[in-house]
Structure 1
């Protein structure tokens, strides 16, 4: 584990509250690997042996139906963990995980993590806090999908990414627009229509660069 990977890992939400022996034990339990873009980390139905923390790049979590249609669940970036819910849950993966671009991942053996959580209360609390955060985030996501229109979902994402509270701003998407569409629960064509409707609010799109003429106007969408 190089210094950069270690720095990202210790700042990850599930590790940030650890110190001393508990932190050392979790760091020692991690193995680091690199994966190319579109690499399948695991598939739904496979035996769940590990959970992961993203150190660089992005990982897409999704499900497939019998007809091959895909539904995105989450886009994980640096510091995000995934599949840790299986420490106390099922023994098979409930979704697919695929790298969206070249990525570096920290991998933790689920049985080892469960044993460490039983030994170290701080580790157990850190994992439970992470699971609680994911549950609340999922509830917010479901509510937003049901209460907000497509343009409102896009506007909310842009406002969270804005570096300023008012005036003009520029936002660079960290990944392809197709990933953003899945993250917001939209088809790619629905995302395009949403961006088109946001032109009235002063939003223009040039590749991954989103120009916002007035952040305050975008809040009124």
Structure 2
């Protein structure tokens, strides 16, 4: 029995509330693999039936067009799962998944997750809660990309980021180019938006550090006011 693996799984929100026996089954069947920055974890249309959790590092989920254009769908960090849609059936994976930094990924076969979920209501409830949150985030992304200009998109991103931050100082874990992809923008347009917000006294920017000076103005901008 891999005690270290079980201890890691205890810290993952998805497995909160499940029995020790269920956690033992999952840990015995789980596999860990390390990925380097820029290494593909899963490709769009890969047929898989498995479930994944980011143990360390950070990954991005993104769509790409035949012309090479990318749209980042989500960034996931430590303890966050992906592959919920392929855990219970063999389906083409809907997005690409790439490591942004050195990352360790835990994978569990879909049939194992399905067997445990049939006996553990807490696991199913956790899955529903995560899917609900992801759906809400997807709707917010669609609204932002289709209805908002670049400064508003950036303001919306920062408002959400502040909810997880301590204080008004944000240290981005991604490059400005990656942030531009999330916002459906270009690095140049993003730089102009940051410069404008800095000139208006909403924030200060230096490297990957953004300090919000006026939360109220930031919120109003995110709402289009």
Same fold (TM > 0.5):
yes
- 1:36-87: CA deviation from partner (whole Å, max 9, x where unpaired): 1111111112221322111111111112222222222111111211111112
- Are the equivalent residues in 2 in contact too, given 1:22–1:122 (CA < 8 A)? no
CA contact (8 A) 1:75 1:179 kept: no
Relative to structure 1, the CA distance from residue 67 to residue 129 in structure 2 (aligned partners, 3 Å threshold; closer, same or farther) is: same
Distance in 2 separating the partners of 1:21 and 1:104:
24
- Equivalences, count: 216
Pick closer, same or farther for the CA change 1:16–1:182 going to 2, 3 Å: farther
Q: Paired residue for 1:59?
A: 59
TM-score by structure 2 length?
0.83
- Aligned counterparts, 1:110-149, within 5 A: 110-149=110-149
Q: For residue 204 of structure 2, give the secondary structure of its aligned residue in structure 1.
A: strand
Aligned partner of residue 53 in structure 2, secondary structure: strand
The 5 A counterparts of 1:1-221 are 3=4, 9-162=9-162, 163-164=166-167, 169-199=168-198, 200-221=200-221
- Measured against aligned partners, the alpha-carbon deviations of 1:109-146 in whole angstroms (never above 9, x if no partner) come to 12221222223333333323322222222122222333
CA contact (8 A) 1:58 1:77 kept: yes
Measured in 1, the distance between the counterparts of 2:212 and 2:112 equals 47
Give CA-to-partner distance per residue, 1:154-174, whole Å, 9 cap, x none: 22332343433xxxx322112
> Residues 10 and 68 from structure 1, CA distance in 2 versus in 1: closer, same or farther, beyond 3 angstroms?
same
* Shift, 1:151, TM fit: 1.4
- CA distance in 2 between partners of 1:13 and 1:140 (Å): 23
SS at match of 2:142: helix
What secondary structure is seen at the aligned counterpart in 1 of 2:118?
helix
Q: Which runs of 5+ in 2 are unaligned?
A: none
TM-score, L = length of structure 1 = 0.84
Q: Secondary structure at the match of 1:201?
A: coil
> More deviation in 53-62 or 209-218?
209-218
C-alpha distance in structure 1 between counterparts of 2:186 and 2:6, whole Å:
36
> How many angstroms apart in 2 are the aligned matches of 1:135 and 1:25?
29
